[in-house]
Chain A
Amino acid sequence: MDRLLQILEDIHPEVDFETCGALVDDKILDSLDIIAIISEVSAEFDVAIPAEEIVPENFNSAQALYALIERLEDE
């Protein structure tokens, strides 16, 4: 989780990713940010996030994104 938080904070240092739960709904993350995050996650965790998983529910919070990474690692 710490590694993920570091990735997110590098992209948006001004956001408190540990508490924010509406990153996409509140338009804090846009499509360019999401791709930057996916690219970082793919390099850091060695998981590929497919396009069908790019939905607000998976990117609204650091916790949701971490759960997605864990699920993809398990599959």
Chain B
Amino acid sequence: MLFTSYGFVAFASALLAAYYLVPRRWQWPLLLAASYGFYALADWRYLFFLLVTTVSAYLMAVRLEDIAGEQKRYLQTHPALTREEKRACKAGFKARKWRWLLACLLLNMGILAVTKYTNFVIHNVNALLHGAAHLQTVDILVPMGISFYTFQTMGYVIDVYRGKQAAERNLFRLALFVSFFPQMVQGPISRYGDLSRTLYCGHPFDGKAVTFGLTRVLWGYFKKVVIADRIITGVTSLIQHTDAYTGAYVFVAMLFYAFELYCDFTGGIDITIGLAEAMGIRVAENFHLPYFSKNIKEYWNRWHITMGTWFTDYIFYPVSVCRPMLKLSKWSREHLGQAMGKRVPVYLSCFVVWLTTGVWHGAAWNFIMWGLMNFAVIMASQELEPLYSRFHARFPVRGKAPYEAFQIIRTFLLMSCVRMFDCYRDVPLTFRMVGTMFTRFRFSVFTDGSLLKIGLSGADYAVLLAGFAVVLGVSLFQARYGSVRQALYARPRAVSYGAMALLLVAILIFGAYGVGYDSTQFIYNQF
């Protein structure tokens, strides 16, 4: 059930009404039932995967906490232990905990790997064998949102292992954390400590929270059905006809895809967060005006924030500080010099993280290359830092508006260019097509009506332009003054409700519906 289907709108509306009608202590069990219902409606077989993840995480987290309790009691009852004995005791308990954690990670990441990557491996093995043998691909069920809920749940188990999070001893509560339907299919990837604060407590009806939540839902639908679902026609046409659409067309595809992805993904997240907010539940923010970033690092602090912090906390840091890495760092200092020695752990860990991020996004070389390109760009900007410093020492432009505008445009174009690996069917083609932007660029494409032949009419462009202006206006307001909803709420009710009505009318009139309307899948659903 897509967020943009009529079925989902009916489902969410009925749930919201029921949520405030049932006694408060039944609100979270109702959400659990609704989440499982939502998942079963997509495919009842998915439930098996969900249950395996939930039950294994529950049992392992409880076990990990029990072992930590044993360690605490042992140390309390043996106060005379020497420092070395205490160290040995802690190491023993830690090794036990590590074995349980590893079992849980292997099970769940194994399910993720098998369901998502088996056919990718088979394709690559076949390509390597050059016809000497041919392995048949297999028909495997890939559960909806498996990357998101697996990562979210493993994050919880690792937090319990680290002693940062108490184990949830109620299986049903944990089941809701794993399956909470608004965020299950495309995130955000929540932390148990954050989401649990508002997920389980009873929420009395709060008109302001419901209004705020529903306004955000409408804003999400506006971005998705008015902009993303309209511009996708042009993007699809441009990236499919690679013989005809080179040069300036690739540049247009790059800009259109940047806009489509932003509206699609942030729109979906707005629906998720808004729906949760309407029920009094606070879900972590996943974006903070990413296209206003002035450099790549800042961009990744503002785009898909919960994924970035997940990879930082659970992959980047552990890889960076693991014993082999520290040994390698020491070896590098001794053999390659101080400067290179300092770089090795950082660069190697970054490489691992971006490779994993690419693989996580999808079973295709395009995504792996996309991850590695991000790594290359970040490392290049890190290496060029001394050059930037010299430039800024000579030309004091930092902080000046024109230079900041240049930084924002540069970052936007660079990230949009890297993102082209999402679009074309394979990596060599992507390099070729991006290359044509520099070798076959014709300005006439923008003036001779060529862009009216890519599946978008003049009316489509008018709607897109107006939509772009609204999104940009709202973003600029947010950057300068903060919450638009708060500002509207401070005005007379006619203004705030009028804005909501306007948004609804815009969605109904300008949404990209056609005969037999079936909105396109959210891009991030496939991850």
Which positions in A face B, CB cutoff 8 Å?
27, 30-32, 34-36, 38-40, 42-43, 48-52, 54-55, 74-75
Is B326 a contact of A42 with CB atoms below 8 Å?
yes
Chain B window 123-151, contacts with chain A (Cβ cutoff 8 Å), 1 for yes, 0 for no:
00000000000000000000000000000
A8 CB, min distance to chain B CBs, angstroms:
13
A26 CB, min distance to chain B CBs, angstroms:
13
| Given A42-B329, A43-B333, A49 and B342 contact (CB-CB distance below 8 Å) | no
A74 CB, min distance to chain B CBs, angstroms:
8
Q: Bound complex: CA of A55 vs CA of B320, how far in Å?
A: 14
| Given A39-B346, A54-B321, A30 and B297 contact (CB-CB distance below 8 Å) | yes
Give the number of residue pairs across the A-B interface with Cβ within 8 Å. Answer: 57
Is B329 a contact of A39 with CB atoms below 8 Å?
yes
Known interface pairs A32-B297, A35-B321, A42-B329; 20 further A-B residue pairs with C-beta atoms within 8 A, sorted by A's residue number: A30-B297, A30-B301, A31-B312, A31-B317, A32-B350, A35-B316, A35-B317, A35-B345, A35-B349, A39-B345, A40-B342, A42-B326, A48-B321, A51-B313, A54-B313, A54-B317, A54-B321, A75-B86, A75-B87, A75-B90
Q: Bound complex: CA of A74 vs CA of B345, how far in Å?
A: 26
Contact of B321 among A43, A49, A55, A74 (CB under 8 A): A49
A17 CB, min distance to chain B CBs, angstroms:
18
| Given A42-B329, A43-B330, A52-B164, A31 and B316 contact (CB-CB distance below 8 Å) | yes
Contact residues on B (Cβ < 8 Å of other chain), bracket: 20 to 34
Is B323 a contact of A48 with CB atoms below 8 Å?
yes
Interfacial chain A residues near B342, Cβ < 8 Å = 36, 39-40
Interfacial chain A residues near B333, Cβ < 8 Å = 43
Q: Bound complex: CA of A55 vs CA of B165, how far in Å?
A: 13
Is B297 a contact of A38 with CB atoms below 8 Å?
no
Q: Bound complex: CA of A43 vs CA of B333, how far in Å?
A: 9
Interfacial chain B residues near A31, Cβ < 8 Å = 312, 316-317
Whether a CB of chain A sits under 8 angstroms from the CB of B69 is no
| Given A39-B326, A54-B321, A32 and B162 contact (CB-CB distance below 8 Å) | no
Interfacial chain B residues near A36, Cβ < 8 Å = 342, 346
Is B346 a contact of A35 with CB atoms below 8 Å?
yes
Whether a CB of chain A sits under 8 angstroms from the CB of B240 is no
B381 CB, min distance to chain A CBs, angstroms:
11
Which of A31, A52, A55 has the most chain B CB within a 10 Å cutoff? A31
B323 CB, min distance to chain A CBs, angstroms:
7
Q: Bound complex: CA of A7 vs CA of B316, how far in Å?
A: 21
Is B318 a contact of A51 with CB atoms below 8 Å?
yes
A10 CB, min distance to chain B CBs, angstroms:
9
* Interface of chain A, main secondary structure: helix
Q: Bound complex: CA of A40 vs CA of B349, how far in Å?
A: 15
Provide 9 A-B residue pairs closer than 8 Å at the C-beta atoms, listed in order of the A residue.
A35-B316, A38-B320, A39-B326, A39-B342, A39-B345, A40-B342, A48-B321, A51-B313, A51-B321
Interfacial chain A residues near B86, Cβ < 8 Å = 75
Interfacial chain A residues near B326, Cβ < 8 Å = 39, 42, 48
Contact of A52 among B163, B316, B345, B346 (CB under 8 A): B163
Q: Which residue of chain B has the shortest Cβ distance to A30 in the bound complex?
A: B297
Q: Bound complex: CA of A62 vs CA of B91, how far in Å?
A: 28
Interfacial chain B residues near A32, Cβ < 8 Å = 297, 346, 350, 382
B160 CB, min distance to chain A CBs, angstroms:
11
Interfacial chain A residues near B162, Cβ < 8 Å = 51-52
B276 CB, min distance to chain A CBs, angstroms:
25
Which of A40, A42, A51, A74 has the most chain B CB within a 10 Å cutoff? A51
Is B329 a contact of A43 with CB atoms below 8 Å?
yes
Interfacial chain A residues near B317, Cβ < 8 Å = 31, 34-35, 51, 54
Q: Which residue of chain A has the shortest Cβ distance to B309 in the bound complex?
A: A31
Q: Bound complex: CA of A18 vs CA of B126, how far in Å?
A: 59
Interfacial chain A residues near B320, Cβ < 8 Å = 35, 38-39
Q: Bound complex: CA of A18 vs CA of B316, how far in Å?
A: 28
Q: Which residue of chain B has the shortest Cβ distance to A31 in the bound complex?
A: B312
Q: Which residue of chain B has the shortest Cβ distance to A74 in the bound complex?
A: B83
Q: Which residue of chain A has the shortest Cβ distance to B308 in the bound complex?
A: A31
Q: Bound complex: CA of A55 vs CA of B342, how far in Å?
A: 21
Interfacial chain B residues near A43, Cβ < 8 Å = 329-330, 333
Q: Bound complex: CA of A36 vs CA of B301, how far in Å?
A: 19
Interfacial chain B residues near A38, Cβ < 8 Å = 320-321
| Given A32-B346, A35-B349, A50 and B330 contact (CB-CB distance below 8 Å) | no
B89 CB, min distance to chain A CBs, angstroms:
11
List the 9 shortest-distance A-B pairs measured between CB atoms, nearest first. A52-B162, A51-B318, A35-B320, A51-B317, A54-B317, A39-B329, A39-B345, A31-B312, A35-B346
Q: Bound complex: CA of A35 vs CA of B323, how far in Å?
A: 13
Q: Bound complex: CA of A32 vs CA of B333, how far in Å?
A: 18
Interfacial chain A residues near B87, Cβ < 8 Å = 75
Interfacial chain A residues near B316, Cβ < 8 Å = 31, 35
A13 CB, min distance to chain B CBs, angstroms:
10
Interfacial chain A residues near B301, Cβ < 8 Å = 27, 30
Chain B window 66-97, contacts with chain A (Cβ cutoff 8 Å), 1 for yes, 0 for no:
00000000000000000100110010000000
Q: Bound complex: CA of A38 vs CA of B349, how far in Å?
A: 13
Q: Bound complex: CA of A48 vs CA of B317, how far in Å?
A: 12
| Given A32-B382, A35-B349, A50 and B321 contact (CB-CB distance below 8 Å) | yes
A6 CB, min distance to chain B CBs, angstroms:
13
